[in-house]
Structure 1
Amino acid sequence: MSKATIGLTVKHRRYVPYSHAHYAGNLVDGAYVLALFGDVATEVCIQADGDEGLFASYSDVQFLQPLRAGDVVEVSATISRVGNRSRDLDFSAYVVCRGRPDRSASAAEVLGEPLEITRAKGTVVVPVG
């Protein structure tokens, strides 16, 4: 029996290693965050339906601020609509800690206010059950 309910939320946090920097200024490409959205979407499907489900589509993706190597990013997925087999999800990504290579190679700080870097809307599908 499905436990899919509007408002069910899953959050993950991940340190972004310097090996993922692809651009000047230690910038990380947007695909990194989209992969994290896929991970939280998978857990939402497991929690709600007991199945990993399949990601069907994004209807909107907005890259608001850069993600940098050395950041700690928190991503979340929240069910916003429940259909027979589909679930619409709202995604967000926030930087909660930021590397400070200007201070030293290993310096970092906890941000006083998380910085929203990406938001998206997507749809997953799960088996009928």
Structure 2
Amino acid sequence: MAAQLGLRVVQRRYVDFGHAHYAGSLVDGAFGLALFGDVATELCIVGDGDEGLFASYSAVEFRAPVRAGDVLEAAGEIVRVGSRSREIYFTLHVVARGAGTRERPGAAALLRPPLLATEARGTVVVP
């Protein structure tokens, strides 16, 4: 079993308010990077039958804020396959955002189109 070019994995996650670290309920960029680690692990399992090891990021760009109450979609696609390495292109989109008001504190809205929050490239290695 060997991963194929173009293999893609998508995971969704709700950002609870326990992850807010800054004013305006902002969440640190490390939250998205942790999601990329989960996506990379799933890609390695699906493509190679092993969890693999994350070796490095070659680029990370934070493009928009992530806030508590967001629903995120983390995706990864294999863009290069070596004998033991896999380069992955990652994206993190905000697909829904809390829009609470005093009258409706639990209100939320789907974002159409989704908001690109983070892009990255990383390399994993598999046995």
Deviation (angstroms), 1:94: 0.3
Which deviates further from its counterpart, 99-108 or 58-67? 99-108
TM value normalised by structure 1: 0.95
After superposition, the CA RMSD in angstroms is 0.9
Q: Which ranges in structure 2 are unaligned for 5 or more consecutive residues?
A: none
* 2:81 equivalent in structure 1: 82
* 2:94 equivalent in structure 1: 95
* 1:126 equivalent in structure 2: 126
How far, CA to CA, are the matches of 1:67 and 1:42 in structure 2? 22
Deviation (angstroms), 1:102: 3.8
* 1:64 equivalent in structure 2: 63
TM value normalised by structure 2: 0.97
Alignment of 1:96-111 (within 5 A): 96-102=95-101, 104-111=104-111
Deviation (angstroms), 1:87: 0.2
DSSP-derived class of the 1:38 partner:
helix
Amino acid at match of 2:15: V
How far, CA to CA, are the matches of 2:59 and 2:66 in structure 1? 19
* 2:44 equivalent in structure 1: 45
Deviation (angstroms), 1:111: 1.0
Deviation (angstroms), 1:106: 1.0
* 1:112 equivalent in structure 2: 112
Report whether the alignment pairs 1:55 with 2:69: no
Which deviates further from its counterpart, 105-114 or 70-79? 105-114
How far, CA to CA, are the matches of 2:106 and 2:17 in structure 1? 11
**Matched-pair identity in %:** 62
How far, CA to CA, are the matches of 1:98 and 1:49 in structure 2? 35
Deviation (angstroms), 1:105: 2.1
Deviation (angstroms), 1:101: 2.6
Deviation (angstroms), 1:100: 0.8
The number of equivalent residue pairs is: 126
